[in-house]
Amino acid sequence: GVIDRLSNKNSASEWLRWMIDDVLADLTGQEKQYPPPRDALFDLRELGKLYGQAVFYCTPYTDLLA
């Protein structure tokens, strides 16, 4: 699915940096320090949605990035 498609486009560290930067920029209203390429925006939103679902359904304090 989405994860396989993403891994073929960019490194995991790039996706994580873009996702964190995107969330922080949205929360604070500040400009993004590491804006992703335009063609990655849809996939970035999908990744954020998957991460949000994982947080919601996992037990508290689960390390989702381990």
Tell me what pLDDT residue 23 has.
83
Neighbour count for residue 57 (Cβ, 10 Å): 8
Closest C-alpha among 31, 28, 64, 30 to residue 48: 64
**Please, are residues 65 and 59 in contact by the beta-carbon 8 Å criterion?**
no
- What are the pLDDT digits (tens) for 27-53? 898 888 888 888 888 888 888 888 889
- In this model, does residue 4 exceed pLDDT 80? no
Which long-range CB contacts under 8 A does 3-7 form with residues at least 24 apart? 3/50, 5/43, 6/43, 6/47
CA distance 18 to 22: 6
Tell me what pLDDT residue 28 has.
92
- In this model, does residue 24 exceed pLDDT 80? yes
Per-residue pLDDT, averaged over 8-13, amounts to 82
